[in-house]
Amino acid sequence: MRRKLPLEGVRVVDFTWILAGPYCTRMLADFGAEVIKVQSAETGERESAPGYNNFFNRNKLGVTINMASQKGRDICKRLIKVSDVVVENFSARVLRQWGLDWENARKIRPDIIVVSMSGMGHSGPMRDYVSFGPTLQAMTGLTSLSAFSSDRPLGFGYSYSDHVGGITGAMAVLQALNYRYRTGFGQFVDVAQQEGSAVLLSTAFLECTINGKPPQPRGNRLHHQAAVPHNIYPCEGEDRWVAIAVFTEEEWRSFCRAIGEDGWTRDTRYATVLNRGQNADELDKLVSDWTRQHTAEEVTELLQRAGVRAGVVQSAADLVDHDPQLRARGFWVQAEHPETGDTHLGVYTE
């Protein structure tokens, strides 16, 4: 007998589009919720890259409803009456105009959960600001701190904050479902995606408010723990790299032994983690001289066997075609859709 998925029996009306919202409802769908994605008949979703919409809307049902018409809105109300959750990422006024905001939706379905995922939230002076993932990353400091120096911010190169927004939205839905089970009450949740991303700056805020010392960009070096070497190093081949992170003195000795540089452990410049920290640039250069003579895969195997944390800087091709761990765990799933390869979530429930 097939085991029940955790969210079977939960029905979600999904008004979301682009990435953050669809990623949120995709996670609910992947774990058994019946997600009904509502789109206007005339406007399909803009495709930002081929396959993008498929990738982030798998496992959902799709309907088209003309929400500009009274009849369309009436059909939507009937849908809400038999649903548990509404998720949307419009600006605040859209649901109200349709008469489907929480105050109105609860008249149709008293225990409905409405989760609204906007960039800045439904209150505050910047509530109408337009934002995408890169906007939020810039506003929260993620872009300026992800850099090798403070005058040249680099950031992520993609919309990490949209994933964070989706995860925050899904957490909001899931906590509300648990609360409803205990009390019978639905509720409204105001997700401001900026806040979901800002909390991930974590200790940086206490560093500012308590010590008055805001963190500075440090590239791939570690901010707070003593760990040297701790960087990304060039390897044999074009644009091939390996990450190496040495934390303890035992790991340092294993590292030196593994790469045939036992002498480094006796060199006063590198004897302790403090010495290594003072001479980190010089040491990184020596480590690079060694890594350059090997493939990233060889370095990873050699150092992992020696108990040192190391890993190939994997590209999309590495992840999909060359990673034995992801393959053994069945991480990538080919869906039946003719054009699409697809991915697991990274959450496994047994």
Minimum distance of another protein from residue 264's CB (angstroms): 21
- By CB under 8 A, residue 97 contacts another protein: no
At 254 the three-state DSSP class reads helix
Q: Among the candidate windows 82-90, 92-100, 147-155, 261-269, which touches another protein by CB under 8 A? A: 147-155
Pick the closer one to another protein by CB: 75 or 200. Answer: 200
Tell me, what amino acid is at 292? Answer: R
Specify which residues 309 forms β-bridges with: 245
Both tokens assigned to 281: 């640039």
The answer to whether the beta carbons of residues 291 and 234 sit under 8 Å apart is: yes
Residue found by looking up tokens 């765990």 in the block: 329
Minimum distance of another protein from residue 208's CB (angstroms): 5
Pick the closer one to another protein by CB: 71 or 350. Answer: 350
- C-alpha 112/C-alpha 176 separation (Å) is 10
Q: Among the candidate windows 65-73, 81-89, 151-159, 252-260, which touches another protein by CB under 8 A? A: 151-159
Residue found by looking up tokens 């872009």 in the block: 143
The answer to whether the beta carbons of residues 118 and 193 sit under 8 Å apart is: yes
Pick the closer one to another protein by CB: 65 or 161. Answer: 161
The answer for residues whose C-beta is within 8 angstroms of residue 58's C-beta and 6 or more apart is 26, 29, 30, 335, 340, 342
- Residues 18-57 binding another protein (CB under 8 A) are 19, 27, 31, 48-52, 55
Pick the closer one to another protein by CB: 65 or 227. Answer: 227
- By CB under 8 A, residue 237 contacts another protein: no
| 237 φψ region: left (φ > 0), alpha (ψ -120 to 50), beta (else) | left
Pick the closer one to another protein by CB: 97 or 183. Answer: 183
Question: What Å distances lie between residue 145 and 120, 152, 293, 297, CA to CA?
Answer: 21, 10, 32, 29
At 233 the three-state DSSP class reads strand
Size of the site for another protein (CB under 8 A): 147
267 labelled catalytic = no
Minimum distance of another protein from residue 243's CB (angstroms): 4
Specify which residues 61 forms β-bridges with: 36
Which one of 14, 162, 190, 321 is the catalytic residue? 162
- Residues 238-297 binding another protein (CB under 8 A) are 239, 241-245, 247
- By CB under 8 A, residue 144 contacts another protein: yes
CA dihedral sign of residues 63, 69, 72, 73: positive
Pick the closer one to another protein by CB: 67 or 296. Answer: 296
Minimum distance of another protein from residue 331's CB (angstroms): 6
- Residues 195-224 binding another protein (CB under 8 A) are 195-196, 198-211, 213-215, 217, 219-220, 222, 224
Question: What Å distances lie between residue 215 and 145, 153, 286, 309, CA to CA?
Answer: 8, 14, 27, 25
- By CB under 8 A, residue 110 contacts another protein: no
Give, as one character, the DSSP assignment of residue 264: G
- By CB under 8 A, residue 74 contacts another protein: no
Closest by CA position to 17, among listed 51, 56, 65: 56
- Residues 303-332 binding another protein (CB under 8 A) are 304, 307-320, 323-326, 328-329, 331
- Residues 165-184 binding another protein (CB under 8 A) are 167-172, 174-179, 181-183
- By CB under 8 A, residue 1 contacts another protein: no
Minimum distance of another protein from residue 9's CB (angstroms): 7
Residues that are catalytic: 162
